[in-house]
Amino acid sequence: MSEPQAYLNGAYLPQSEAKLAVSDLGIVYGAAVTEMVRTFQQRLFMLEAHLDRLYAALEYACIDAPLTADELKRICLNLIEQNGALLPAGEELGLTVFVTAGQNLPYLGMAELDACRTPTVCVHTFPLAFELWDQKYTSGQYLIRSEVEQLNPRVFDPRVKSRSRIHLYRADKLIRKQVPAASALLFDEKGFVAETTIGNFFLVQDRIMLTPRPEYVLGGISQKMTARLAKQLGLDYVETDISEEMILQADEALTSSSGYCLMPVTRYNDHFLSEGKPGPVYQQLITAWSQEVGVDIIAQAQQIGATRRSQLP
Q: Residue 115: its pLDDT value, please?
A: 85
Domains of the chain plus CATH, in order, are: 5-128 (3.30.470.10), 141-302 (3.20.10.10)
pLDDT digit string (tens) for 42-67?
A: 999 999 999 999 999 999 999 999 99
Confidence check: pLDDT of 2 > 90: no
What secondary structure letter does DSSP report for 150?
Answer: P
Q: What does each C-alpha distance from 79 to 131, 141, 208, 299 come to in angstroms? A: 24, 33, 40, 26
Amino acid identity of 156? F
What pTM did the predictor assign?
Answer: 0.95
Contact (Cβ atoms closer than 8 angstroms) between residue 205 and residue 249: yes
Nearest alpha carbon to residue 95 among 228, 245, 259, 237: 259
pLDDT digit string (tens) for 121-162?
A: 999 999 999 999 999 999 999 999 999 999 999 999 999 999
CA atoms within 13 A on the CB side of 47: 19
End-to-end CA distance of the chain, in Å? 28
Q: Residue 73: its pLDDT value, please?
A: 98
3 state SS of 142: strand
Q: Exposed e or buried b for every residue in 212-239, given b needs 16+ CB within 10 A?
A: beeebbbbbbbbebbbebbeeeebeeeb
Q: Please report which confidence band the pLDDT of residue 1 belongs to, taking 50, 70 and 90 as the band edges.
A: low
pLDDT digit string (tens) for 170-191?
A: 999 999 999 999 999 999 999 9
**Average pLDDT for the chain:** 96
Q: Residue 230: its pLDDT value, please?
A: 98
